[in-house]
Amino acid sequence: MPGMGNSLRAAALLAFVVLSVLVTLLISSVQQFGARISHFSTAPSGDDEELASLREALIHQLNERRKEIIPLLSPGVGDDDENGLLGESFSQRDSTLDYSLWNEITVGSGKAHLDEMGCDSLADMQAVEILGSGYTKLVVKVNLAGESEPVALKLVNEQGIDMGKCVEDFKDPRGCRELVSFKLRKEMVLLQRLQHPNIIKLKGHCAGGPGGREGEAERVTVILEQGNPLQMIQLLQSSWEDRFRVCLDLVRLLHFLSQSPLGSVALLDFQPRQFVTVSGSLKLTDLDDASAEETTCHTDADCTLQFPHRNFTLPCSARGVCEGLNEKRNIYNAYRYFFTYLLPHQAPPSLTHLVDRIMNATGELKADINQTLEAFEHILHLYKSGLHLENLPPSIIRDYTVMRGMGTSGNVEYRCWPSYSQQGCVLSVHSAREAAYTCNSHSQCNSFTLTGQKTWTGRLLASFRSGFSHLVPDGTSEVYVKKTKVVEKSSA
């Protein structure tokens, strides 16, 4: 056992060192911002042809990244490129593009129409934990002065693979930081354009500004609503009602993306890790790999969706684009990453045929997103209203004696799965009638209590138990006891 203790202490020390390094990196990244970038002046001077060639290649990459963002600057309120910050190729574009938005995400314009928080909000921040790190980005949970809720900061991962490879290729750390940061800039524009209850909220950003150090404007920090990473294993152990909520939120999101202000948007990196939950609601938190581009085609053969175990061919429209490809890609990814694991298991028996219909339609891409959303909303309506319980005999509740305004003490609990409580059996029900039906199906159950607590659908939470020692006054509760049990107590 001493060896295990030493290992644990070593692991804890390593974790502390890593966290310290990352927090130091975070602080240095978000506190250093300033005027417009002139990073190429820092490259070694001289007539070295190789360095000149590398600088030219890096400038080309920067221009390519800017071109990716241009289509996202849809018509909006704002001035044209009055400061010339987009360059000649940009000023030749449609003058209705929201150049003030571009200026803001690149140099932090003073108009501040995009968000509420800025560089000043990060002055007295306290890092709490590292939420994640990848090839490009580092995500940190922090507390900000004057804010009751923590926020998530996204910034360039200085130790990430993308940054390392860029510096190795171009020998220009500052130029590479700007190049890598384009994923963050693109994500900021997308978060501004694609505002929806199931997309994480952009709370602000810091892209340089007054009071910062000059020459550090390539440092970008995005300030986001903070959510909890989606834990699929934990979700698999939760109630069907909560799993259905995740799937419903996802379908509502995909419905929005299919007809967003940018057109039909595809999530190219569609994985559970791209989502978080905020107060129980599913939210997309990673948008840098979202694309509104339409796939061009000459024949239907050009419109093939390829997945590991299935391929689908979609029609090539008369205007030469693959019809509904982005939408269908999203639907099938939702099916294989979410619906397959979360939707069918332990669905209410009276809703199983409707769930199976959704699984078949999405798994075979026979339904569009409008039809899919309609099917989900129909199930939600039945489940919330209790219409799916019409076949339960009304007389089932007559087998129980009800004591209103009372609770129980000295409970004899038993466990069921899935339960809202680990100590006993707590399930959601539409009414006392459904609770009676559930109690009858559990051999251990002799009574249940309705407390008035409700789930996100408005259904009641019911506590089921084997027995209790006595009743206690409780104005918010109702206790239901099987009449056979009451008779037994009276006889005794």
Q: Give catalytic residue positions.
A: 269
List Cβ neighbours of 148 (8 Å cut-off, separation of 6 or more).
Answer: none
How far is 87 from 30, CA to CA, in rounded Å? Answer: 26
Nearest to 312 by CA among 303, 321, 322, 299: 303
Give residue 332's identity as a one-letter amino acid code: Y
